[in-house]
Amino acid sequence: MNHLERLAATIKFKKTDRPPVAGPVFGHAAHLSGLPLHKYLQSGRLLAEAQIRAYKHYGYDITFAFFDVNVETEAMGAVLHFRDHDYPYIKQEALSPDTDFSGLVLPDFSHAGRIPELLEGVRLLRAEFADSLPVAGLVLGPFNLACQLIGMENTLYLAVDNPEAFTGLLDFATEFCIAYGIAQIKAGVHLPIVFDVSASPEIIPVAFFREFELPRLRSVFKRFKAAGAIAGWLFMTGDIKPILHYFPRIGVDIANFDYCVPPDAVKQSLTYTCVNGNIKPLLFEYGTPEDIDRAARELLTEFSRRKGFILSAGCEIPLRARPDTIQALVNAAFESC
C-alpha cells in the first residue's frame, strides 16, 4: 500500500496496513533544511526541495505545498514584511472595510504575488511523487480570507455594522478560494485543504457560521471535488465541538481537530467522517519524543476500532520543532499495524 492508497482507504474507513500519519509539516521543512524561512516562502523550487527532503527524513504520508496564510491577500495587494525566522506579517492590508467589494476582480494567478511560485512548487512535488504520496495544497476558507484581506477586527465589525458589504466581501473571498484551489488542483495537488481557523466558534458564534460560512464552504468543496480533488479536507482549530455536526453536510471528508477537542466528541459527531489530530503542537517543540509517543499511541488506540483516522498534530507543527519528536509521531504510526 503506498501513501496515497493508504490515505484513500482511510477516508473510506477501509482496512489499511497501518494508520496514516501527517505532520503537518509546513515551514518546519525550511528549518530542517537549514534554509532561511523567507527564502523558502518565496520560491516554489526551494519549497519543493525542502518538502521532499523532509518527507525523506521523516517518511510521513502526506506532503504539503503551502507557504503561509498571507499568499492570497498579498496577491490582492497586501504589503508583507518577511522575516528570517518567522512567517511574514501584513504591514498594509490589501483592502479596507470601505472597499466596494462588488467591484473586485480576481487577480491573474500567473502573475499575482507568490502564487506562481507556489503553483510551481506544486508541479515539482507532483512530478517527484506522482501518485505515490498525496500532495496537499492549502487555501484559506472564505471567512479566514476575508479576515486576511481587511483584518480580523474590521471583518467582525463589518459583519455587524454593514452586513451587505460583509456579504460582498465574503462572496469575493469564496470566489477567490474556489479559483485558487482549482488552480492548485490543475497544478497537481491531490486536494487543496481548506484552512478556516478564523471561522472557529471561539471567534464567531455558531449561528453566524451556519448562516454565512457553511453554505460557502459547501460550494467550495463541491467545486474542488468537481475539479478532481480526491477529498474535501477542512482544517479548523480551537474548540470546534459546537459545529462538528455540520461538517458532513458541508462535504467534508477529512476534518482536522485540535488538542482542545476530545476524541470522544469527534467520534460522536462525525461517525463517518475521517478525522486528523490532535496532539498539542507545542509539544513538538517543548516536549520529548516520549511525550509524543505516549500521546500518539493513546490516539491510535482511541481510534483503532473506528478507523477513519490520520495521526497528526492538532495544528501546524511549529517551525522549530524538535525533529526527534516528529520522528516519534511517525514511528508510532509505523509500529501500529
- Sort strands 89-92 and 191-195 into parallel, antiparallel or unpaired: unpaired
What whole-number distance in Å separates Cα of residue 136 and Cα of residue 26?
11
The site map against other proteins for 45-84 (x = CB under 8 A) is --------------------------------------x-
- Cell numbers linked to 16: 489499511
- H-helix or E-strand spanning residue 107: none
Q: Which is nearer to other proteins, 56 or 91 (CB)?
A: 91
From residue 313, how far is each of 6, 30, 55, 285, 317 by CA, in Å? 19, 18, 16, 12, 6
Q: Where are the alpha helices (DSSP H) in 192-322?
A: 206-208, 214-226, 247-250, 263-269, 283-286, 289-303
The site map against other proteins for 262-301 (x = CB under 8 A) is ------------------xxxx-xx---------------
What whole-number distance in Å separates Cα of residue 101 and Cα of residue 311?
40
Q: According to the binding rule CB under 8 A, does residue 202 interact with other proteins?
A: yes
Q: According to the binding rule CB under 8 A, does residue 319 interact with other proteins?
A: yes
Taking the complex as a whole, how short is the minimal distance between the CB of residue 280 and other proteins, in angstroms? Answer: 5
Site for other proteins in 84-103 (CB under 8 A): 85-87, 89-90
Decide if 97 contacts 162 (C-beta within 8 A): yes
Q: Which is nearer to other proteins, 139 or 159 (CB)?
A: 159
Taking the complex as a whole, how short is the minimal distance between the CB of residue 125 and other proteins, in angstroms? Answer: 26
Site for other proteins in 101-140 (CB under 8 A): none
Q: According to the binding rule CB under 8 A, does residue 159 interact with other proteins?
A: yes
Residue 134: closest CA among 254, 289, 259, 258:
254
By CB under 8 A, name the one of 160, 264, 305, 337 that touches other proteins. 160
List of residues contacting other proteins (CB under 8 A): 83, 85-87, 89-90, 152-153, 156-157, 159-160, 201-205, 208, 237-239, 259, 280-283, 285-286, 318-320
